[in-house]
């Protein structure tokens, strides 16, 4: 599982002209699910996100976690994070999870984050064409990959 975690002052997802998810200060997470990913991969990503110190407090510019600053989370499923560009110029998405598997793991990850953070997690719409808008704060962007967790 891959996640691109961006600290934002605000972020939103629009589908068919309607805002389906939005947050103020917090984290926008673009989540890519590999065909071999399991619940353990999601648990690792969620735990890491919940503990990451990406916000400012009296201790410094990158010293506080999301829950310490009362931030929110917006998760957008993005299979293109699993793109392979080794051959040619057209990306291959063979490593991306099939839709049913990806949707189940994405939904589970959102519920796990809600449990860990004690607040509602906003989501995009799975498999929809989405317009994602964000104001990256810092900019602070961190990548996580559950395959590199050791």
Question: How confident is the model over 38-87, as pLDDT tens digits?
Answer: 999 999 999 999 999 999 988 878 899 999 999 999 999 999 999 999 99
Q: Report pLDDT for 39.
A: 97
Residue ranges of domains in the chain, CATH in brackets: 2-145 (3.50.80.10)
Predicted confidence band of residue 16 (pLDDT cuts 50, 70, 90): very high
Q: Report pLDDT for 131.
A: 98
pLDDT at position 28 over 90: yes
CB contact set of 73 (below 8 Å; sequence gap of 6+):
23, 26, 27, 29, 49, 66, 113, 117, 119, 121, 122
- Nearest-angstrom CA–CA distance, 104 and 35: 12
* Predicted structure pTM score: 0.95
Q: Count of CB atoms within 10 A of residue 40's CB?
A: 11
Q: For residue 92, what is the DSSP state?
A: B
The two three-digit tokens of residue 132, written as one number: 């994602």
Q: Report pLDDT for 14.
A: 98
User: Annotated active-site positions, please?
Assistant: 78-80
Pairing of strands 26-32, 60-65: unpaired
Model pLDDT for residues 104-145, shown as the tens digit of each residue? 999 999 999 999 999 999 999 999 999 999 999 999 999 999
The two three-digit tokens of residue 79, written as one number: 């299979």
Q: Report pLDDT for 33.
A: 98
DSSP E strands: which ranges in the chain? 2-15, 18-23, 26-32, 53-57, 60-65, 72-77, 121-123, 131-145
Model pLDDT for residues 73-108, shown as the tens digit of each residue? 999 999 999 999 999 999 999 999 999 999 999 999
């Amino acid at each position: 599982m891959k996640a691109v975690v961006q600290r934002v002052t605000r972020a939103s997802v629009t589908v068919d002209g309607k805002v389906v998810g939005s947050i103020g200060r917090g984290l926008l997470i673009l989540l890519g699910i590999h065909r071999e990913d399991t619940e353990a991969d999601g648990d690792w990503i969620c735990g890491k996100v919940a503990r990451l110190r990406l916000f400012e407090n009296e201790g410094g510019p990158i010293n506080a976690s999301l829950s310490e600053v009362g931030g929110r989370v917006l998760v957008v499923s993005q299979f293109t994070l699993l793109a392979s560009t080794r051959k040619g110029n057209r990306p291959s998405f063979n490593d991306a999870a099939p839709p049913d598997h990806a949707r189940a793991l994405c939904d589970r990850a959102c519920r796990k984050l809600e449990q860990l953070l004690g607040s509602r997690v906003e989501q995009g719409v799975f498999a929809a064409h989405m317009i994602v808008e964000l104001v990256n704060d810092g900019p602070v962007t961190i990548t996580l990959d559950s395959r590199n967790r050791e």
